[in-house]
Chains A and B, each alone.
Chain A
Amino acid sequence: MDDLVVPGLILDRVAYGERDLIVTLLTRGHGLVSAMARSARGSRRRFGGGLDLFVVFQARLRLRPPPRLSALVGADPIRQFPGILEDLARLEAGQAMLAAARDLLRDAPAPARIFDLVVAHLDRLERVPPEATHLPLLDLCLGILAEVGHVPAGTRCPACGRPLDQGGVLLDGGSIVCAECGRDVGVLDVPPAVFGGAPTRRAEAIAFLTRLMTAALGRPYRIPLRPE
């Protein structure tokens, strides 16, 4: 079988044996893939730093039908997020984003736009001030929840006041406006009404998100961010 070459991002990784890693990748267009990365811990030769968190890479996967584990045989970095790695608040929020994506997408289809959504919000996380790192997390979770069928309803475009029940557009900088206001300047389409009523203050946002994720996943969920 030919290798699948596709952009990917690590959502989780677990040490296996002395030298290997089992990684959970979010791939662009092929959803979540669990794969064995042989010698990923023992040698930097094959993967370098490509298998760290917050690195988008071109994954070379040898897919195998379940229950056999696919193999990750290459990971060439495409994009990094150094701004996340240098700040504790961004690192914590970034890991919370990856964990939420992993948990929400475990049994759900993940089309290419979800991959783009995650990357866009990591990009946004790099640029928000440390006290606002909960906002990309909140928006990413709402965006994924909308994609997988949990759509909180009702909000308005901050530019014109029009309801966003037909969806919106993410601007460079993180605002969501309606399609009309975001025409030609939007970087990503946002599904209908995913941001309705979500609080933006940190403690309230984390509490809101905890309730939302708990309801969506059907089990108690803890957002690993400090509320203050």
Chain B
Amino acid sequence: MALPAPVQRLIAELTKLPGVGEKTATRYVLFWLQRSPNAMKDLADRLADAAGSVRPCLVCGYVAEAERCGFCEDPARDRATVCVVESVADVLAIERVGEYRGLYHVLGGVLSALRGVGPDHLRVAGLLDRVAGGEVREVILATGADAEGETTALYLARALGDRGVRVTRPATGIPMGSSIEFLDAVTLMRALRGRKEIGP
């Protein structure tokens, strides 16, 4: 016998999550159903709570509980440096390193002719407005090191070119701990083209 319609609808909704197929979604739902009568209601409450209280930061696009996120409100962050990333996940990855103390700007994707994504689909205008505010001295373009990421970085570099800020891009090339012998040709070629001088 088929599962009741509400359960089927829930399974269908969960399959929209990244990496979740129908089998996994069914397993999740059955787990919650079997756990306790209130377990699923608790989950629904948490979802409703998050949906009602969380929104993109009006300044940088990161996740916020108010108009501005924790980074933008934090007086200890370096307000002269803005790191531009594709997604919220990229912010979390950079924060894990513990090296960066500036602010962020989450574009919400990359420019892609293949996907029909242009500058108007991303938070590009917001970035230019932030820079025009005068407080920013350096913009780090930390988009991906693939063709779309490079396109986005070059586009932003050009847009920021005459605004009096330093525009930088994280280094790309040979991963730490790897041997040149085992590098693929694409990575190696880009590493060689991006080589830098070192001192004596």
Q: Which residues of A contact B (CB under 8 A)?
A: 11-13, 15, 17-19, 44, 47-50, 52-55, 76-77, 80, 82, 84-88, 91-92, 94-96, 98-99, 102, 222, 224
Contacts and interface: CB of A to CB of B under 8 A. Distances in A.
Contacts of A50: 184-186
28 contacts: A13-B114, A15-B18, A44-B184, A47-B184, A48-B184, A48-B186, A49-B186, A49-B187, A49-B190, A50-B184, A52-B146, A52-B147, A52-B186, A53-B148, A77-B186, A80-B185, A80-B189, A82-B193, A84-B147, A85-B147, A88-B151, A88-B155, A91-B151, A91-B154, A92-B151, A95-B148, A95-B151, A222-B116
A76 to B, nearest CB: 8
Interface of B: 18-20, 112-114, 116, 118, 146-148, 150-151, 154-155, 158, 175, 183-187, 189-190, 193
Contacts of B193: 82, 86
A224 B190 contact: no
Contacts of B155: 88
Q: Which of A11, A13, A15, A87 is the most central at the interface, judged by chain B CB atoms within 10 Å of its CB?
A: A13
Contact of A54 (B116, B147, B184): B147
Q: Which of A13, A52, A54, A82 is the most central at the interface, judged by chain B CB atoms within 10 Å of its CB?
A: A52
A14 B184 CA distance: 22
A98 B147 CA distance: 12
A98 B151 CA distance: 14
Given A48-B185, A49-B186, A91-B150, A102 B114 contact: yes
Contact of A92 (B18, B113, B175, B184): B113
Given A18-B19, A80-B189, A92-B113, A48 B183 contact: yes
A88 B175 contact: no
Contacts of A76: 185
Given A12-B114, A17-B19, A77-B186, A88 B147 contact: no
A82 B184 CA distance: 15
A33 to B, nearest CB: 17
Nearest to A222: B116
A225 to B, nearest CB: 8
A182 to B, nearest CB: 31
B146 A53 contact: yes
A19 B190 CA distance: 23
A87 B155 CA distance: 10
Given A19-B19, A80-B189, A91-B150, 18 more contacts: A17-B18, A17-B20, A44-B184, A48-B184, A48-B187, A49-B190, A52-B186, A80-B185, A80-B186, A82-B193, A85-B150, A85-B190, A86-B193, A91-B147, A91-B154, A95-B114, A95-B147, A222-B116
Contacts of B116: 222, 224
A23 B142 CA distance: 24
Contacts of A102: 114
Nearest to A48: B184
Given A52-B146, A91-B151, A82 B189 contact: yes
Nearest to A24: B114
A24 to B, nearest CB: 9
A87 B187 CA distance: 18
B54 to A, nearest CB: 21
Nearest to A79: B185
